[in-house]
Structure 1
Amino acid sequence: MPIERSGPLTWSQRDWIFGLPPSRASSFEDNFSRQIAIAPMPFPAVRAAVRDVLLRHENLRSRARPRRPDEPQDVDPVDERLDEVVTPVPIETAAETARTAERICFDIEREWPIRIFAAGDERGVSRLIVAVDHWAVDGWAIRVLSDDLASATAARAAGEAWRDPAPVEQPIDVARWERSPVGSEHLQRCLGYWREHYERLRRELEGFRPVLPGAGPDAAAGPQFHGRRLRSRRLRAAAPVAAAALRVPAAALYLAAFAAAIGAAEASTGLGLLTLSANRGSPAALRSIRNAVLPAPVFLPGLAGRPFPEVLQASRRELAQGHRSANVEPMATRRLAREILGDLAVTGVTDAKFNYLTHAGLGLRAGDTADDPGPGGPADGTVEAFPARAQGPIYMLVVFEDVATVDLTLRWRCDTGWQHAAEPMLRHIEDLVLYAADPGRTTPVYGRT
């Protein structure tokens, strides 16, 4: 097969690819999926619109080759696999097609990381069902993809080809900058901040031993990554009130509550978190379709006995500072963590990730739907378990603020001990946010919801 060009992987891509077991060519069973309503149009016009978008964004027609060390990413010509990407389906099968699309396990060495199912009837295609492997996109990129598909289909419906003249970042170009002298200098500056973060954390945790077991180097084979989700309408109403009253971003509010829940569950006086940063610092980056997300460090000392509003203000300051040092190679920061923290490098008090997403931030509009982070839809205020998965984060909280509800999704690996603390942690996070919105409430106590 002809190859348009080859090159290195970005730091973010490497973080995903090299976390895969050697026996797995596919990614983390973790797709972004989206349904996009369009005005009815012929399938050939839809196919042409998809081609326009793939031509603009190399990442959507790239294959990762992690076992090839020199240039482990190939970009294919746009027409090589176009008919594998976009497929017509009957509109009456759209719901089942969407459920199947969410669970596609992409072979990222042999396939492009995107599928688009064009659902329609005799009037034409009226819905696009999109699934993209998470190694290729993040929450911002799926918004860009949706906007570009909407613009391209509108142009093709008018009989015109779609061309956006504004430049976009391509992953191979980003990766080459990261390996350039300027990129290397930037990396060393950021690693200085990360070293300071881990050294502060080491001093804070002097003499600490986790109550819950830390993640081992090799967990047992088979499905081992678990999750619980709390869906809450009360949070959706309370969080904006609390954020406005305390003059903090909603992300800082949830981050502080997560930190307090970890501290209570792990009996730790302080901890370090990794909050996921969009990591898009230029107009071309904002227009690009790629997974650019990288973690930023957050240090929160002295949690025991500290009033929640103080923890909240500390999380706000740390968020602002940490994001400036997010654009860094995760493999390098993990080496620093092992060097400085030793056997505490991968524990709930040093390595938990936090991600805050919103319906508006993902660019969802009327007629669109986002991927469902778990099976079914739990009733308001209930905690629901997810089926175990073969891959996933070792410790992580995802906050998704929808139109009417907030989903708190906690994920962990089975050897961490978080399965015993998951529901109390989720309840405590909810209680703390409700308390921040109404300080007249009784001060929350972990495990006493």
Structure 2
Amino acid sequence: MESQIAFAGARSGTGPATWGQSAIWDVVRRLGDDAARYNVAGGLPLDPPLPMDRLGDAIRALLRHHDSLHTTLRFDGDRLEQVAHTAGAIDVHTRASEPGDVVETAYAFYHELAAIPFDAERQLPLRVGAVLAGGRAAYVILSVSHTASDGWGLRNLLADCAALCAGREPGDEQRQQPLEEAAYQVSERGRRADAAARRSWREKLERGPASQFPDRAGRPAADAFPNAVLNSPALALALDRVAAGLAVNQHAVLLAAAAAAAARLGGAPDAVFQIVVNNRFRPGMAGAVNTIAQEGLLHLPGTGGDFAGLVRRSFGAALSAQRHAYYDKLALDRDIAALQAACDHSCFVNDTRGLMPILGYAGPEPEPLDHARSRTTLTWPLEHAPRRNTTFALDAQDAPGSLELAMTADAAVLPRPDMERFLLGIEDLVVTQALQLE
């Protein structure tokens, strides 16, 4: 069943699109019918369940807090603008459930809603789902266009939704609105920050290897990109132990392992990855709901040798990438096109753990690593259409009592046996290091 929640009195205005909005717009419009896979979605249980009018009030309050939820984009053939609407209506989808089946129903409903694309020019970028038990909303699902929020914004959005549904005001975190962010970006300070970030990118692009898989360079892309998923309870345990033992974060350990595993396959002495950076450490962005995350360029020289040393160096390299991950991507694309030669930057690593609050998965139970490793699985769930300028994309994501590495790759460069060696190689490097630290 579908209905709508009407709202009025929200902040309104028109201005240039933000860097994040422009970058996602550029990606999503190329995807066509496949654009829904860029949606971000999550949900939360409501205890006690709410009457639908109370849920409607909470959603209206959410819209007043976050302008991105009532903002559309407008492209005139030359310039992309954002338009914040003072009034409108949000689609609400409902699904009935028995009280004991609410969570199971919500998980299935979540995937259905997330698979519906948005029209960023003509539709408001929020869709609400409610699982009803006894006529009341027992679970709420928020599906958001990626032009309106990234994964970190979704986490903020769900926290605010939980507070409003419980009758509380959201926390006092800074919440820069998209029009405010755009105003900063066109200011002198914003232009300086953009110039510094793009300069850092250009310098790294001139230093890295021409190809990270030189013996396979220049091959036409495969007709389909396989997707492999490694489910590893042992890797989840070992990442935590290695990070604690070497006094770094888990992200640095994962990046080092991916760099070393790629070097084993391709032989390149340096790794160059585009890593997704949340950018929420910037002023005014801690509690923001907008698409602010962008790719930083990580250049990690010397991927051979001692793994512990590589982990420590990856921590510093990641910090450098994170400092320079807030920029005008369309301008950066022009910079890269103007370079006489740019290194291979077709490999992507995205750590999404903790960004899907609907899942609520418990972490792995402590156990011997060898026993945990015996439960590792590798599956091949699907194939994707070819992805432009991509050798591989690696996502780290939560799983029940485990960690998953989902990898999509150009089979012309990394055929399935090499994808398997790469994923298992990451696990082996981290688990071996954890055992050495015991």
Same fold (TM over 0.5): yes
* 1:369 paired to 2:329: no
Of 176, 181, 184, 2:188 maps to: 181
Residues 25-48 of structure 1 show CA distances to partners (whole Å, capped at 9, x for unaligned) of 873523322231012121011011
* 1:429 paired to 2:436: no
* Distance in 2, Cα, partners of 1:143 & 1:363: 7
* 1:308 paired to 2:307: yes
Of 337, 353, 359, 1:358 maps to: 353
Paired residue secondary structure (1:19): helix
Contact (CA 8 Å) 1:26, 1:107: kept in 2 or not? Answer: no
* 1:386 paired to 2:381: yes
Cα 1:306–1:341 change in 2 (3 A) is farther
Cα 1:308–1:338 change in 2 (3 A) is farther
- Structure 1: 5+ residue stretches without partners: 157-161, 372-378, 442-449
Structure 2 counterpart of 1:59, one-letter code: S
Greater alpha carbon shift after TM alignment, 384-393 vs 41-50: 384-393
Cα 1:95–1:432 change in 2 (3 A) is closer
Contact (CA 8 Å) 2:29, 2:35: kept in 1 or not? Answer: no
* Distance in 2, Cα, partners of 1:170 & 1:418: 44
**Alignment correspondent of 1:33:** 41
**Alignment correspondent of 2:366:** none
Paired residue secondary structure (1:297): strand
Cα 1:283–1:42 change in 2 (3 A) is farther
Of 47, 54, 57, 1:48 maps to: 57
Paired residue secondary structure (2:382): coil
Q: C-alpha root-mean-square deviation of aligned residues, in Å?
A: 3.1
* Distance in 1, Cα, partners of 2:387 & 2:61: 33
Contact (CA 8 Å) 2:160, 2:170: kept in 1 or not? Answer: no
**Alignment correspondent of 2:166:** 154
Paired residue secondary structure (1:18): helix
Structure 1 counterpart of 2:152, one-letter code: W
Cα 1:90–1:174 change in 2 (3 A) is same
* Distance in 1, Cα, partners of 2:242 & 2:191: 41
Contact (CA 8 Å) 2:52, 2:136: kept in 1 or not? Answer: yes
Cα 1:266–1:319 change in 2 (3 A) is same
CA shift at 1:253, angstroms? 0.3
CA shift at 1:23, angstroms? 8.0
**Alignment correspondent of 2:155:** 143
Paired residue secondary structure (1:112): coil
Cα 1:130–1:370 change in 2 (3 A) is farther
Cα 1:197–1:128 change in 2 (3 A) is same
* 1:251 paired to 2:251: yes
Report how many aligned residue pairs link the two structures: 408
Scaled by the length of structure 2, the TM-score of the pair is: 0.83
Contact (CA 8 Å) 1:274, 1:295: kept in 2 or not? Answer: yes
* Distance in 1, Cα, partners of 2:386 & 2:148: 17
Of 202, 208, 214, 1:210 maps to: 214
* 1:110 paired to 2:107: no
Structure 2 counterpart of 1:429, one-letter code: I
**Alignment correspondent of 1:238:** 238
**Alignment correspondent of 1:191:** 198
Scaled by the length of structure 1, the TM-score of the pair is: 0.81
* Distance in 2, Cα, partners of 1:332 & 1:297: 15
Cα 1:209–1:22 change in 2 (3 A) is closer
* Distance in 1, Cα, partners of 2:414 & 2:379: 18
* Distance in 2, Cα, partners of 1:208 & 1:134: 30
**Alignment correspondent of 1:292:** 292
Structure 2 counterpart of 1:88, one-letter code: T
**Alignment correspondent of 1:6:** 14
Residues 322-341 of structure 1 show CA distances to partners (whole Å, capped at 9, x for unaligned) of 21111122233334444446
**Alignment correspondent of 1:446:** none
* Distance in 2, Cα, partners of 1:152 & 1:21: 34
CA shift at 1:277, angstroms? 1.0
CA shift at 1:401, angstroms? 4.3
Contact (CA 8 Å) 1:193, 1:325: kept in 2 or not? Answer: yes
CA shift at 1:166, angstroms? 5.9
Structure 2 counterpart of 1:422, one-letter code: M
Paired residue secondary structure (2:27): coil
Structure 2 counterpart of 1:181, one-letter code: E
Cα 1:200–1:22 change in 2 (3 A) is closer
Contact (CA 8 Å) 2:397, 2:404: kept in 1 or not? Answer: yes
CA shift at 1:289, angstroms? 0.6
* Distance in 1, Cα, partners of 2:170 & 2:395: 35
* Distance in 2, Cα, partners of 1:246 & 1:420: 31
* Distance in 1, Cα, partners of 2:265 & 2:376: 21
Structure 2 counterpart of 1:41, one-letter code: L
Contact (CA 8 Å) 2:271, 2:299: kept in 1 or not? Answer: yes
Contact (CA 8 Å) 2:153, 2:291: kept in 1 or not? Answer: yes
* Distance in 2, Cα, partners of 1:402 & 1:317: 28
Paired residue secondary structure (1:81): strand
**Alignment correspondent of 2:101:** none
